[in-house]
């Protein structure tokens, strides 16, 4: 199965989930984005490595990196290899004495290690098909994306200023037409985490029909 290389293109605080963050992975040779909601600790672990900060004592992911290097284990790549019920799964592909070893990992931990080892991050086409979002060129006009999106944790209500029924109404209260318009709006603003939640609700309705 062909692998698609990704880069971390954004890491931002979640607007709708106060203790969570959104990490956005971008397709290297394409326009698709893969937004994933992660916890605050994991977001900090990724941010520290991306900013090349040196804490006084090693963080958990620094410790794991040091342990792998001590035992001559090299992290060759990270693969986001599955998506089940809105949860992303990942594997660490390691090399020791010429032998490849795969280790199951949470996606957020895998990304934190990938940044530290400066190794490539990959996923598969079926995951981008199911969970990717495309930011359309505003000059080309608005339109619904054809890709879905999922997150690592459950979705929560989001708000839409244009909706008079109440800014804190749950997504389930909106029509599919409203949700599609909301999706276009947040994609235009590059709010991938909110786009993921809206697309999750649209995908849920499609699977229930």
Range from 40-49, 101-110, 185-194 that averages highest in pLDDT: 101-110
pLDDT of 191 = 66
Spacing of C-alpha 130 from chain mean position = 13
pTM for the full predicted model: 0.67
Residue 136 has what pLDDT? 61
pLDDT in tens, 82-110: 999 889 999 999 999 999 999 999 999 99
Residue 138 corresponds to which tokens in the numbers above?
A: 């505003």
Residue 204 banded pLDDT, cuts 50, 70, 90: confident
Name, of 50-59, 129-138, 154-163, the range with top average pLDDT: 50-59
Please tell me which residue, 204 or 102, carries the higher pLDDT value.
102
pLDDT of residue 86: 87
Q: Is the pLDDT of residue 161 over 70?
A: no
Whether 3 has a pLDDT exceeding 50, the answer reads yes
* Structural domain 3-129, CATH architecture: Roll (3.10)
Give Dmax over CA atoms of the chain in angstroms: 63
Residue 102's H or E segment, with its range, is strand 99-106
Band of pLDDT at residue 167, cut at 50, 70 and 90: very low
Residue 176 confidence (pLDDT): 81
Point out which residues pair with 34 in neighbouring strands: 25
Residue 160 has pLDDT above 60, yes or no: no
24-33, 55-64, 90-99: range with highest mean pLDDT: 90-99
Strands 74-84 and 121-124 come out as: parallel
pLDDT at 205: 76
Q: Concatenated DSSP letters for 113-165?
A: HHHHHT--EEEEHHHHHHH-EE---GGG-----S-----SS-------TT-TT
59 within 8 A of 45, measured Cβ to Cβ: yes
Q: Which of 54, 84, 74 is nearest to 120 (CA)?
A: 74
């Amino acid at each position: 199965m062909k692998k698609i290389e990704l880069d971390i293109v954004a890491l931002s605080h979640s607007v709708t989930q106060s203790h969570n963050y959104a990490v956005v992975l971008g397709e290297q040779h394409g326009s698709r984005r893969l937004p994933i909601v992660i916890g605050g600790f994991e977001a900090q672990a990724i941010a520290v490595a991306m900013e090349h900060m040196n804490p006084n004592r090693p963080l958990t992911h620094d410790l794991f990196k040091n342990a792998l290097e001590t035992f001559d284990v090299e992290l060759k790549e990270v693969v986001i290899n599955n998506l089940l019920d809105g949860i992303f799964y990942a594997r660490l592909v390691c090399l020791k004495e010429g032998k490849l070893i795969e280790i199951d990992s949470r996606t957020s931990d895998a990304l934190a290690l990938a940044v530290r080892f400066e190794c490539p991050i990959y996923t598969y086409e079926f995951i981008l098909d199911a969970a990717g979002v495309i930011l359309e060129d505003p000059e080309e006009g608005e339109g619904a994306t054809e890709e879905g999106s999922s997150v690592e944790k459950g979705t929560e209500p989001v708000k839409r200023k244009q909706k008079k029924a109440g800014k804190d109404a749950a997504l389930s209260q909106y029509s599919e037409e409203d949700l599609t318009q909301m999706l276009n709006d947040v994609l235009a603003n590059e709010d991938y985490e909110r786009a993921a939640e809206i697309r999750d609700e649209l995908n849920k309705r499609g699977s229930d029909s």
